[in-house]
Amino acid sequence: MSSTNLQVDDQGRLRHFLTIEGLSHSILTEILDTAESFAGVTAQQVKKVPLLRGKTIVNLFFEASTRTRTTFELAAKRLSADVLNINIDASSAVKGETLLDTLRNLEAMHVDMFVVRHADSGAAHFFARHVAPHISVLNAGDGRHAHPTQAMLDMFTIRRVKGPDFGRLRVAIVGDIMHSRVARSQIHALNTLNTGEVRIVAPKTLVPVDAESLGVQVFHDLEAGIRDVDVIIMLRLQRERMQGAMLPSEHEYFHLFGLTEQRLAVADPDVTVMHPGPINRGVEMDSQVADGPRSVILEQVTHGIAVRMAVMSMTMRAHTDAEAQEKQNV
């Protein structure tokens, strides 16, 4: 079964959210529009809506990630769901329990959604293929493969700052493209939303061999790559995923690819600077840029809650609607 068939039901509704690849422009736009409707919830005195009351969501993290897990937890709680956080490092995986055993045991607790983060590419797809029909699976990052909610919160941030017409934008993604699941998801999202020009900028050792087939322009010089762009998305150097000497040193990387105010001068005067976090200051960018007026890095974190609320509500609605239809047919 393809990713698209696994993610979308017969009515075109999102039932799992595993990857951006293969999803339609209309589904991505629906996610962004739904997130917009939730964006104001955080400003309310009571920061809750009752959409998922009575539902149980399990954050199943096989990899540590304070920021992503926290925003998923907040999103679920703001939708009035019950949330269970499970740290697998300290759980049954250490005792030799298989992924399928873990899944079956949690299913027996009558949960409604799994949010899965795993070091292996394809782990979220594995869960989605094996869960009971009423359960949704959201991918919170799997290996080098995908991080779809991060990409969508980035798209939401761009749309809020630059407006809904992606076709007039030049966007540059800078840094460790090779090891970044975020970059792959961002590229798919930007191209699906018909972005005018998508560039990747990185040393040759950090660019995947199939990069140009993804529908991007490849640059190995920072200033050439960010010239006249409207949005710059910096990526974290993922030392933990690198094998061998892919970089001479972090100091040398900053010298060639670190974003500074001086280098920003070649971009559009109204350029927006983004980073999925956490930032390595003095490696990917200096503090003057990270904390400067062009940076929307903290806004990205805030928007992550609304986007994850959107995806949770859309996937659960698809299951609820399908169950209601089945009861009508009986």
Annotated binding site: 67-68, 95, 117, 147, 150, 181, 236, 277-278
Helix, strand, or coil here: 16?
Answer: coil
**Planar angle of CA 46, 52, 56, nearest 5 degrees:** 115
Tracing tokens 């040398």 back to the chain, one arrives at: 252
Tracing tokens 């399990």 back to the chain, one arrives at: 58
Structure tokens of 291? 């904390």
How many angstroms separate the most distant Cα atoms in the chain?
67
Structure tokens of 69? 């897990």
Structure tokens of 182? 């975020």
Burial of 276 per CB tally in 10 Å (0-12, 13-18, 19+): buried
- What is the DSSP annotation of 47-80? ----TTTT-EEEEEESS--HHHHHHHHHHHHHTT
The whole-angstrom separation of Cα 104 and Cα 99 is 9
Burial of 65 per CB tally in 10 Å (0-12, 13-18, 19+): middle
C-beta atoms surrounding 39 within 10 Å: 18
Per-position b or e across 166-180, b if 16+ CB within 10 A of its CB: beebbbbbbbbbbbb
Tracing tokens 């792959």 back to the chain, one arrives at: 184
Task: Could you list the residues known to form a binding site for carbamoyl phosphate, using ranges.
Answer: 67-68, 117, 147, 150, 277-278
Task: Could you list the residues known to form a binding site for L-aspartate, using ranges.
Answer: 95, 181, 236
Q: Across-strand partners of 14?
A: 8
